[in-house]
Amino acid sequence: MLDGDVDLPAVTAPDVDARRAAVARFAELAVADGALGRLAELGVWLAAAQGACPPRPPARPRVVVIAADHGIAAAGVSAHAGDATVRQVAAVRESTAPVAVLAPVAGVSVRVVDVGLDHDADTVDRYRVRRGSGRIDREDALTAEEADRAFRIGRSLADEEVDAGADLLLPASIGVGATTAASVLVAALTGTEPVAVVGRGSGIDDNAWMRKAAAVRDALRRTREHTRDPLALLRVAGGSDLAALTGFCLQAALRRTPVVLDGLVVGTGALLAEELAPGAREWWLVAQRSPEPAMTLAVEHLGLTPVLDLGIRVGDGTGATTVVPLLQMAARLLAETATAADLGLT
């Protein structure tokens, strides 16, 4: 597949009739109009996504962590050394990373997929695209073939999870240097200056922030000819994780499966997916307001409103996991709350 060459079916919108039924059902409950606030909105969103009113509480939510390293880490843009990603992935698998600690509380299962860690793999992995990525301030992140493969892997991962019964998907990411690449892509897609998209990422100090801003500036210059071509942007300034997340978010929408977004890298993948498949965003919910300025821009560009404001900056799915119990509560409220008629209040 060449840059810009992707043949996708149209995204089907969530069920309008189920949405209307949910709105009508909330209006009948024995509570003041609007008293349930955002919980009611979540219930309506879930009903439309499931095509049923009342909706079912998500029973098989699934975090899929996409892991990869980025060559731009060599520019000193992160608080972590390049080999930190492997250790972070190990922490998820050992259930000591934040998302893995919270997942059992929310009834969420977690999967980690290596699409581009910078290490020698012990076995052949059909999901692994390459070792790390190119240093995007000087060279392309991926070849066209690698970008295509990563994008297709992301779509396949979404298919696998839906086919296995997942009814709510929570894409996530781990990767040193990933927020730098994501910031470049957000700036390219939104026409924003580099200094306006650069955040603290892994917790960098002022000197590292300046190095990151310079890296974003230089990489952004290399994207100028590709701002209308999401696949070319992924090749030039993305990475295997960003390409896979783009495919994952896109395919989830095509499979009519609700998604909770959190973290700048995931948000960037979603932004690119919406460019490729308009309407995909109707299947997504943004978990929480990120401190990363590029994520704020991505969310605004998508026209979505975060559910929470937790200030969480890690992108491993922690923020998305916190929203799952709220969705389960919202579904039960819609199904089980007494109506005004039930209580004889009409």
Write phi, then psi, for 259 (nearest 5 degrees).
Answer: -130, 140
- In this structure, what token pair is assigned to residue 95? 């259930």
Maximum C-alpha span of the chain: 71
DSSP states of 157-195: HHHHHHHTT-SEEEEEEE-TTHHHHHHHHHHHHHT--GG
CA angle 129, 157, 219 (to 5 degrees): 45
The average confidence (pLDDT) of the chain is 95
- Which CA distances in Å does 158 have to 1, 31, 107, 118? 20, 38, 19, 24
Q: What is the CA radius of gyration of the chain?
A: 20
Q: Tell me the one-letter amino acid at 147.
A: A
According to CATH, the topology of domain 61-325 is Rossmann fold (3.40.50)
Going by C-alpha positions, the residue among 317, 292, 312 that lies closest to residue 209 is 292
Q: What is the pLDDT of residues 264-321, one digit of tens each?
A: 999 999 999 999 999 999 999 999 999 999 999 999 999 999 999 999 999 999 999 9
Going by C-alpha positions, the residue among 200, 202, 203, 84 that lies closest to residue 132 is 84
Going by C-alpha positions, the residue among 255, 256, 326 that lies closest to residue 50 is 256
Element (H, E) at 246: helix 240-254
Confidence grade of residue 5 (pLDDT, cut at 50, 70, 90): low
Q: What is the pLDDT of residues 101-122, one digit of tens each?
A: 999 999 999 999 999 999 887 6
- Residue 114: strand, helix, or coil: strand
pLDDT at 122: 61
pLDDT at 274: 98
pLDDT, mean of residues 227-245: 97
Q: What is the pLDDT of residues 159-214, one digit of tens each?
A: 999 999 999 999 999 999 999 999 999 999 999 999 999 999 888 999 999 999 99
pLDDT, mean of residues 126-131: 94
Domain ranges of the chain: 61-325
Residues 343 and 345: their CA atoms lie apart, in Å, by 5
